[in-house]
């Protein structure tokens, strides 16, 4: 059984609006050590915005974010940069640094942000690349990697910073179907290793097999949240059921099988 | 017929000093112009509204007015403000200001062609905005700007001849003096033309090698 005492991340009453349109209307939840929470919800409903509020790439209008009991919000830039080192983020479009090879992508923040010496950074970078199964591709550049490989490099890059929590923003949405599996495989391994994760995804098979809780975000609010079994089989709202059914139809069933 | 005696015994020796001055002018102006250009382009893209507007105004002014006028203002105009520049300083200042405005625009285009997601990713790793610009954006943008900036460097080599107009005797100025003394305009300016062509060809070659050296997979200098 997973240990669930230590509170890692706390999101308290987050509001955010863009151009008069409120995309987040009071979101609150907690993530404990070793937990995996999956956020689902219709597109354009603030899921990415929510993740970006957590590491302050987007500043929320109201509400607070807490990392291990320390407030992340309302900080100076320098302090925010320190918090960001402790919060790993994986983007939908990978956002690899095009001028650096795989190992360069992983080690640059260790050198430039953590001030590590090059040799030490390289060792860590290789260790992380090995973890995502890419030690053979270490010297290839982003343009020479497949989408799945790029995303695994970006996961290794985030892991190298030794974060306390990992945020995944639709990590498989930009991938060809046959490449999704390798990325989900890496993420699954992270879950088994006890990483604390917050994942925005449409992959219901993944959510079902690893999530401790699914958070259903709609119209800027958490409509419903709970363990996968509960949301799939006894949801409080008809809306939840409909949405999950639709996702399953589009992206594969709860066993990870994809419809042709 | 070519007058070899004039060429070897008179022309070459009297051009020597001017040639060295031209080399000195461009070795100062090229790197300084590039550095200033990088700073202006960063201010233009990443600065706040005021800084961005200032950089924009700077570019408009120095690209929009003739270099010769800028040199005249620096050399003949500034003394009335109590600023006395030597011919060399006035020329280098003018060249740096003018070429930086062009570089800034080439580099701005290159910066804007780098996907902004890379800056976000760098920031998400805890890198400061400035760190993201210097470690992630500039290494890519400067590579991309090489063809455009090369063009400007070549122009600069040629317009260094305008230094002569503010009494900085460089290659063209030295040539003008010999040519009028010996009334040998054709020979003199032909030789000078060839010298400029040689410098430019050399610079082009070096820049090309640089471009190839800095290419990486996905970003080759040749398609």
Interface probe for A, chosen from B121, B143, B211, B216 (most Cβ of A below 10 Å), is B121
> Which chain B positions have a beta carbon within 8 Å of A87's beta carbon?
124
Q: What is the pLDDT of residue A257?
A: 56
DSSP A243: H
What residues form DSSP beta bridges with A29?
A: A11
Residues 6+ away with beta carbon under 8 Å from A21: none
Q: What is the pLDDT of residue A252?
A: 63
Interface probe for A, chosen from B110, B126, B216 (most Cβ of A below 10 Å), is B126
> Which chain A positions have a beta carbon within 8 Å of B131's beta carbon?
112-113
> Which chain A positions have a beta carbon within 8 Å of B122's beta carbon?
97, 109
> In tens digits, what is the pLDDT along chain A, a chain of 260 residues?
445 589 999 999 999 998 888 899 999 999 999 999 999 988 877 899 999 999 999 999 999 999 999 999 999 999 999 999 999 999 999 999 999 999 999 999 999 999 999 999 999 999 999 999 999 999 999 999 999 999 999 999 999 999 999 999 999 999 998 899 999 999 999 999 999 999 999 888 899 889 999 999 988 999 999 999 888 888 888 888 888 878 877 766 555 555 44
High-pLDDT (> 90) share of chain B, %: 85
Give the ipTM of the model, two decimals please.
0.91
Interface contact flag, A81 B126, Cβ < 8 Å: yes
Q: Is residue B1 a contact partner of residue B70, using CB atoms and an 8 Å limit?
A: no
> Which chain B positions have a beta carbon within 8 Å of A109's beta carbon?
122, 125-127
Rounded to whole angstroms, how far apart are CA atoms B157 and A74?
A: 52
What's the 3-state SS for chain B? CCCHHHHHHHHHHHHHHHHHHHHHHHHHHHHHHHHHHHHHHHHHHHCCHHHHHHHHHHHHHHHHCCHHHHHHHHHHHHHHHCCCCCHHHHHHHHHHHHHHHHHHHHHHHHHHCCCCHHHHHHHHCCCCHHHHHHHHHHHHHHHHHHHHHHHHHHHHHHHHHHHHHHCCCCHHHHHHHHHHHHCCHHHHHHHHHHHHHHHHHHHHHHHHHHHHHCCECCECCCC
Work out the angle at residue A79's Cα, subtended by the Cα atoms of residues A77 and A85, and round it to the nearest 5 degrees: 105
| Minimum distance, in Å, between the CA of residue B163 and any CA atom of chain A | 39
Q: What is the pLDDT of residue B82?
A: 92
**3-class DSSP assignment, residue A48:** helix
| pLDDT tens digit sequence for B2-35 | 778 888 888 888 899 999 999 999 999 999 999 9
């Amino acid at each position: 059984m997973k240990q669930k005492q230590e509170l890692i991340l706390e999101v308290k009453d987050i509001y955010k609006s863009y151009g008069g349109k409120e995309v987040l209307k009071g979101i609150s939840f907690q993530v404990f050590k070793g937990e995996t929470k999956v956020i689902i919800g219709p597109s354009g409903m603030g899921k990415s915005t929510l993740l970006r509020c957590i590491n302050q790439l987007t500043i929320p209008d109201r509400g607070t974010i807490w990392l291990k009991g320390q407030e992340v919000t309302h900080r100076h830039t320098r302090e925010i940069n320190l918090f960001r080192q402790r919060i790993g983020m994986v983007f939908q479009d990978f956002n690899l640094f095009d001028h650096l090879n795989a190992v360069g992508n992983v080690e640059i923040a260790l050198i430039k942000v953590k001030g590590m010496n090059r040799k030490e950074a390289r060792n860590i970078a290789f260790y992380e690349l090995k973890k995502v199964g890419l030690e053979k591709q270490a010297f290839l550049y982003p343009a020479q990697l497949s989408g799945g490989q790029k995303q695994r490099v970006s996961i290794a890059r985030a892991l190298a910073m030794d974060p306390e929590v990992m945020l995944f923003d639709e990590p498989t949405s930009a991938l060809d179907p046959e490449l999704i599996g390798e990325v989900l495989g890496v993420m699954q391994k992270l879950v088994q290793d006890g990483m604390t994760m917050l994942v925005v995804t449409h992959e219901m098979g993944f959510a079902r097999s690893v999530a401790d809780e699914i958070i259903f975000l709609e119209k800027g609010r958490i409509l419903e949240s709970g363990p996968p079994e509960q949301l799939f089989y006894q949801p409080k709202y008809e809306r939840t059921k409909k949405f999950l059914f639709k996702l399953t139809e589009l992206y594969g069933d709860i066993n990870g099988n994809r419809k042709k | 017929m070519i007058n070899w005696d004039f060429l070897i015994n008179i022309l070459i020796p009297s051009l020597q000093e001017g040639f060295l001055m031209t080399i000195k002018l461009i070795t100062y102006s090229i790197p300084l112009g590039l550095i200033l250009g990088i700073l202006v382009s960063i201010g233009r893209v990443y600065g706040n509204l005021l800084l961005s507007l200032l950089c924009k105004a700077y570019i408009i002014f120095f690209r929009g007015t003739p270099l010769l006028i800028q040199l005249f203002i620096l050399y003949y105009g500034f003394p009335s403000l109590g600023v006395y520049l030597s011919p060399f300083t006035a020329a280098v200042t003018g060249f740096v200001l003018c070429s930086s405005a062009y570089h800034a625009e080439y580099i701005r285009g290159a910066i804007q062609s780098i996907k902004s997601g890379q800056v976000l990713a760098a920031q998400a790793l805890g890198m400061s905005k400035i760190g993201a610009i210097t470690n992630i954006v500039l290494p890519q943008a400067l590579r991309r700007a090489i063809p455009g900036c090369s063009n400007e460097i070549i122009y600069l080599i040629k317009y260094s001849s305008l230094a002569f107009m503010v009494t900085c005797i460089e290659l063209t100025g030295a040539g003008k003096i010999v040519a009028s003394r010996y009334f040998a305009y054709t020979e003199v300016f032909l030789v000078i033309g060839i010298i400029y062509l040689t410098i430019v060809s050399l610079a082009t070659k070096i820049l090309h090698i640089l471009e190839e050296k800095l290419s990486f997979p996905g970003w080759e200098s040749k398609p």
